Amino acid sequence: MACCNNRADLNDISQETKNINACCSSGFKLDVYNWLENIPEVGNRKKLVEVRFKNTRKLFFENVNDIKLIEGDVVAVESSPGHDIGTVSLTGELVYEQLRKNGFKTNGEFKKIYRKAKDNDIEKWKQAVDREKHTMLRARQIAADLKLNMKIGDVEYQGDGTKAIFYYIAEERVDFRELIKKYAEEFKIRIEMKQIGVRQEAGRIGGIGPCGLELCCSKWMNKFVSVTTTSARHQELSLHPQKLAGQCGKLKCCLNFEVDVYKDAQKGFPNKSLPLEVEDGTLYYVKLDVFKKVMWYSYDKNYAKNLTPIHVDRVREIIQLNTKGEKPGKIIDEIIDEKVEFTSVVGQESLTRFDNKNKSRKKKKNKYNKNRNKNHNNRNNPNKNPNKSKLV
């Protein structure tokens, strides 16, 4: 559906209602579940409403005219200049929680909601949206002709069609004064240039991640924290760039999600850089199983072969013996069994339960066939079927 990725489905808006609740109640980018929907607003605070526009852009507006609004209503809001058209995405008490989360001050100045969108407003909005793709392609061509090291990622027209936001990506500072003049002459509108990063571009475009779910940057993330390979090292992940990179080409944001858990789990672990001196030779650290607390060592410093798993407690003991100048003859006190065992965690039977069922079904089938043959023989032989002889 169009509204889930870009804008509301403009063709579904009728004269009687401007509602698109069926389409926009869930599933659009940066969706928020209003778990405070039935709680009435308290105090004399400003009546604020969250309004979403194209893709991930959301703003807060003041409902000065006390218009009865629900999520999904298409409204005309104040802009500079003119007015813009957006969709109400959140109302009620949860709006103020969103303000605190995003760092807005409730006592500040907010732009106003003028009215629910009329048919004339919707028609202009449709025409503006239809121009966006052609404008983006033409804008890219103009930027290429001027040999500017930048990329026009997206174009968003204002609801009244008098202004457009050009989202661009550039690694270096770009002087686009000449570019704005060209755009104004070409498109006959007010131009606003807004720089975004590759992560924001991925959030605006959307997509499916390697986990099989929608990208976090397009679903719920609105703030991006820097990601480094240190997070991957803490989680003992492969440092292969293709495996760590996301759709945007940068390191995956999800590398930061669980790194704190791994850091806490590794507190008190022995120093990985210290080799272990034993009677058989010297052991060098290769890898670590954080939650099993098992460290893997190899006798070869350059190649990981013939790996030996040692529990961290035993590693600590060997290091203490080495500091005293002693070399233990026995590396591990207990054999670490790496065999995977399947256990029933949901109250099911063993993995062979299907084989048993097949056997029981086979027995039932054979019994059924014997009874069927027996009944068939009785029908053919009336002497063996006393009921049949009486009927005759």
pLDDT (tens place) for every residue of the chain, 392 residues total:
334 444 444 444 443 344 433 333 334 567 777 888 777 776 667 789 999 998 778 899 999 888 999 888 999 999 988 899 999 988 888 888 888 887 777 677 889 999 999 999 999 999 999 999 999 999 999 999 999 999 998 999 999 989 999 999 998 888 888 999 999 999 999 999 999 888 888 888 888 888 888 898 888 887 888 899 999 988 988 888 888 999 888 999 999 999 999 999 998 899 888 999 998 889 999 988 998 999 999 998 888 888 889 999 999 999 999 999 888 877 765 445 444 444 554 555 555 655 655 555 555 556 666 666 666 555 555 555 444 444 33
- Tell me what pLDDT residue 123 has: 93
Flag whether 7 is in a domain: yes
Cβ contact 152:159 at 8 Å = no
Asked if the structure places residue 239 within a domain, the reply is no
What pLDDT sits at residue 360? 55
Is residue 11 situated within a structural domain?
A: yes
Which residue matches tokens 């704005």? 180
Residue 200, burial from CB neighbour count under 10 angstroms (0-12, 13-18, 19+): buried
CB contact at 8 A, 203 and 218: yes
- Of 144, 143, 184, give the one whose Cα is nearest residue 162: 184
How far is CA 267 from each of CA 244, 249, 271, rounded to the nearest angstrom? 25, 32, 11
CA atoms of 39 and 92, how far apart (whole Å): 8
Residue 278 lies in a domain: no
Enumerate residues 6+ apart whose C-beta is below 8 A from 261. none
Contact (CB, 8 A) for 230 and 256: no
CA geometry: angle at 29 spanning 27 and 35, to 5°?
Answer: 65
Last residue in a domain, options 68, 102, 118: 118
For position 25, what pLDDT does the model report?
37
| pLDDT one-digit tens code per residue, 145-167 | 999 999 998 999 999 989 999 99
Q: How far is CA 389 from CA 64, 133, 377, 384, in A?
A: 96, 89, 14, 9
- Other Cβ atoms less than 10 A from the Cβ of 61: the count is 23
Q: How many CB atoms lie within 10 A of CB 160?
A: 17
Rounded CA-CA distance 136/151 in Å is 10
Examine residue 190 and state whether it is found in any structural domain, yes or no.
Answer: no
Q: What is the pLDDT of residue 9?
A: 47
- The verdict on residue 24 lying in a domain is yes
Among 69, 90, 118, residue at a domain's last position: 118
Residues with Cβ within 8 Å of residue 72, at least 6 apart in sequence: 19, 20, 21, 23, 24, 25, 87, 88
The reported pLDDT for the residue numbered 23 is 37
The DSSP-derived string for 217-243 is HHHT--S-----HHHHHHTT----HHH
Domain extent, residue 81, equals 2-118
317 within domain boundaries? no
Domain boundary among 118, 138, 160: 118
Q: Give Cβ neighbours of residue 228 (< 8 Å, ≥ 6 apart).
A: 251
pLDDT on residue 130: 93
Which residues are CB-neighbours of 20 under 8 A, at least 6 positions away?
3, 8, 9, 12, 13, 72, 74, 87
Say how far apart CA 327 and CA 282 lie, in whole Å. 10
H/E element, 347:
none
The residues pairing with 296 across neighbouring beta strands, listed in sequence order, are: 287, 309
Q: Half-sphere exposure of 152 toward its Cβ, with a 13 Å CA cutoff?
A: 27
Look at the chain and report how many structural domains it folds into. 2
242 part of a folded domain:
no
